[in-house]
A = this chain, B = another copy of it.
């Protein structure tokens, strides 16, 4: 049975591939044991197809990555680049017979420069490691996805990851100044800059950010840093509906406030977090809005925002007493997804971002969808960005429940597009939202995107089947 695998690659093919890879990689960096390689098949998305890798490689140098890509091109083998596999769209899932190219061993911080305010890093550096290293130098690397303790900078770049900081500090894309990229054929491209400004030619750097490993393999990044701001202070406001909290967000932004965080948890999410972590969040609330400022006088800003919350119908407004209490509220917000998973079963996580003026419409629409499909949907949101994460919960052993969950998941994206939004604010497309990407982009842009892909990857070897379907070439 091992002679001809499901994937169409034979054991002999696999052995030849591994041998070829070992000519430029140390033995321990080439994994072929199927029990081991299988553990690299998936990221954290549910319900996304994944194949069996032929081999997993763990290079430590740029030259080794070049060798991997030259091998892949020579043998026409698809390559799936991976970081920590914390993604939520299946973008890092293996395809059958592929080389999984894990960058986690390239994890050095090469430089931190407080004058140029840049860090130069390898792709496998964990977000939290970088964040702490720059904080020790009085600086700040803002992008902070919920998985920041484990996710890698390379993965953050691949998905243009967001986080809690974005309402004030923007997403990963805004911090990537320059990249070294190994191209599909093994050539090394240096693009972008380490200067504060630069407009020499087309912005290829930004093209790689969010490209989900489908245009090249990032092997080095120059990242912009900011001076460390004062510690933020958080306020929690309770509302009788998510929609009312959305109205508060509208008022706060309209009045020109610049919060460093503005997050929403609906009642379902709040109760799940309480059940899991006993955090003492208000058990009966229907929506909890967290607003923070890292300004010189955060208490004054919170007081002004508290009044706006009350104007929008908040039933309770509680500023945190100190940094510790603020951190506890942030921690509660970060627990939203694990808590819903622990309490309510398997989840599918939407990532719809709407113009923030339409946030209340979005919340009401999700409630209607939940009722229509008789499906439990917990909602958390980076409310200040209009970026909602309706989390559809279901029992995967009940086929009808699964069917209804999938229908609800899709209808939430349709709603987002109707409200002028996007199907993905920060999680990316992967395999989970391919069909929806085509709907969002429309035929003209989709065709251009495919052609851009062909420029960088004419053989269709890099992460085939992600973002959009088949490129021709040998990608399956």
Contact = CB atoms under 8 A, between A and B. Distances in A.
Interface of A: 113-117, 138-139, 159-160, 162, 166-167, 171, 173-174, 183, 187-191, 193-204, 206-207, 209-211, 215, 226-228, 250, 253-254, 256-258, 295-297, 353-357, 382, 384-387, 420-429, 437, 440-442, 444-446, 448-449, 451-453, 455-456, 467
A429 B441 CA distance: 30
B197 A162 contact: yes
Given A116-B356, A250-B115, A455-B452, A441 B200 contact: yes
Contacts of A194: 355, 420
Given A115-B254, A195-B425, A296-B296, 7 more contacts: A115-B356, A115-B357, A138-B256, A189-B444, A195-B385, A196-B387, A197-B387
B445 A190 contact: yes
B356 A204 contact: no
Contacts of A162: 197
Contact of A203 (B206, B437, B442, B467): B206
B455 A448 contact: yes
A326 to B, nearest CB: 21
26 contacts: A114-B256, A115-B355, A115-B356, A117-B253, A160-B199, A160-B203, A166-B197, A183-B444, A193-B422, A195-B387, A195-B425, A196-B386, A197-B382, A197-B426, A198-B424, A199-B428, A199-B429, A200-B423, A201-B446, A202-B215, A203-B207, A204-B445, A204-B448, A448-B456, A451-B455, A452-B455
What is the total number of copies of this protein in its complex?
Answer: 2
Given A116-B356, A117-B253, A253-B117, A422 B195 contact: yes
Ranked 8 nearest A-B pairs via Cβ: A227-B256, A206-B206, A196-B385, A198-B422, A197-B425, A115-B357, A451-B455, A160-B199
A113 B356 CA distance: 11
A114 to B, nearest CB: 5
A206 B423 CA distance: 19
Contact of A188 (B117, B258, B355, B444): B444
Contacts of A467: 201
Contacts of A353: 193, 195-198
A15 to B, nearest CB: 33
